[in-house]
Amino acid sequence: MTSTITNISCVIIVKNGESTLKEVLSSLNDFEDIVLYSNNSTDKTDEIAREFSNVNLIQGDFLGFGETKNIAATYAKNDWVLSLDADEIVSHEFAATLQNISLDEKKVYSMLRVNYYKQTQIKYCWGNDIIVRLYNKNMTSFTAKKVHEKIITENFGIEKLTGIVKHYPYATVTDFIVKLDRYSTIYAEDNVGKKSSSPLKAILNAQFSFFKTYFIKRGFLDGYAGLIIAFSHMATNFYKYIKLYERNLQLNEKL
């Protein structure tokens, strides 16, 4: 028999997450408090959120991943926050672990995330991740980075939680294109005037990214999905350095 999780709030930021959101929220039925911070979604994200009585739907702007996640956490009723993405589905075992855990303010807690493309588990291009996602918001927070944000873990013990979280970041090839454009733009905006770039750097980084993902990490063993992922990594690296190059040129023209 399961019990309601009353001492941990689940906080999710989302923009146009209708493809996975219903499954994500359904896997969180045991949570009493879920904060869904919607960044100007134009699909059925908000409509889906209103179907769940334990979801507190908040509307807000996207200011970069780190800052936005910290803002979203302020709406949590509890001090303890489980930060999830809108494409991460918790297992029954993981939810049961949270029902019975004795939380320690001197610790943060990590989870095992298993990555998928559609229904295919990706074992080589991505593999599995162990990432810190459960923390006390009065004791720590996410870094302010616009991309590749993480929970600050210095001076904390890290305890791994039992159970898995399934990650479905891409449902179609179009999702890769949309996300690489978004992430490359965020990278350029976050690093303009701080890092140098050039067309040659963009080409070399893109080529190495494909080689690393498809051959060194043996992405070819992931089959068709591995090819898409490797090419996406290549394109993301090319565009993030080209966009940074353009931003730096524009910045220098203003000086």
Query: In this predicted structure, which of 95-99, 141-145, 250-254 has the lowest mean pLDDT?
Result: 250-254
Residues 6+ apart with CB under 8 A from 74: 137
Give how far the C-alpha of residue 22 lies from the chain's centroid of Cα atoms, to the nearest Å: 17
pTM of the model: 0.91
pLDDT band per the 50, 70, 90 thresholds, residue 255: confident
Same domain, 131 and 178: no
Same domain, 162 and 207: no
**219 DSSP assignment:** G
Indicate the pairing of strand 88-90 with strand 157-170. Answer: antiparallel
Q: Which amino acid is at 230?
A: A
Same domain, 160 and 210: no
Instruction: Give a yes or no: residue 133 inside a domain.
Output: yes
**217 DSSP assignment:** S
Instruction: Give a yes or no: residue 48 inside a domain.
Output: yes
Nearest to 210 by CA among 234, 227, 188: 234
Same domain, 242 and 161: no
Contact assessment for residue 137 and residue 73, using Cβ atoms and an 8 Å cutoff: yes
Residue 150, CA distances (Å) to 64, 133, 137, 147 in order: 12, 8, 13, 9
Same domain, 232 and 110: no
Instruction: Give a yes or no: residue 64 inside a domain.
Output: yes
Q: What is the mean pLDDT of residues 135-148?
A: 95
Among candidate residues 119, 142, 170, the one where a domain is terminated: 170
Whole-angstrom distance, CA of residue 181 vs CA of residue 236: 7
> Tens digits of per-residue pLDDT, 186-238?
999 999 999 999 999 999 999 999 999 999 999 999 999 999 999 999 999 99
* CATH assignment of the domain containing 16: 3.90.550.10
**51 DSSP assignment:** T
Residue 201, CA atoms < 13 Å, CB-side half-sphere? 11
Same domain, 132 and 239: no
Average pLDDT value over all residues in the chain: 96
> Tens digits of per-residue pLDDT, 154-189?
999 999 999 999 999 998 999 999 999 999 999 999
> Tens digits of per-residue pLDDT, 24-70?
999 999 999 999 999 999 999 999 999 999 999 999 999 999 999 99
Report the pLDDT value the prediction gives residue 217, as an integer from 0 to 100: 97
Complete DSSP assignment for 163-214: EEEEEEEESSHHHHHHHHHHHHHHHHHHHTTTS---HHHHHHHHHHHHHIII
Residue 2 has pLDDT above 80, yes or no: no
Instruction: Give a yes or no: residue 178 inside a domain.
Output: yes
Helix H or strand E segment including 132: strand 128-136
Nearest to 122 by CA among 12, 211, 227: 227
Instruction: Give a yes or no: residue 1 inside a domain.
Output: no
Same domain, 31 and 141: yes
Report the pLDDT value the prediction gives residue 79, as an integer from 0 to 100: 98
Same domain, 116 and 42: yes
State how many domains the chain has.
Answer: 2
Instruction: Give a yes or no: residue 2 inside a domain.
Output: no
Among candidate residues 112, 137, 170, the one where a domain is terminated: 170
Same domain, 49 and 128: yes
Same domain, 164 and 177: no
Same domain, 128 and 194: no
- β-partners of residue 90 are 165
Among candidate residues 146, 170, 194, the one where a domain is terminated: 170
Q: What three-state secondary structure class fits 221?
A: helix
Same domain, 115 and 226: no
Report the pLDDT value the prediction gives residue 1, as an integer from 0 to 100: 44
Nearest to 79 by CA among 52, 53, 108, 54: 108
Report the pLDDT value the prediction gives residue 248, as an integer from 0 to 100: 97
Which structural domain range is residue 186 located in?
Answer: 173-254
Instruction: Give a yes or no: residue 13 inside a domain.
Output: yes
pLDDT over 90, % of the chain: 95
Work out the burial of residue 196: count CB atoms within 10 Å of its CB; fewer than 13 is exposed, 13-18 middle, 19 or more buried.
exposed
Report the pLDDT value the prediction gives residue 254, as an integer from 0 to 100: 82
Instruction: Give a yes or no: residue 3 inside a domain.
Output: no
Residue 134 has pLDDT above 70, yes or no: yes
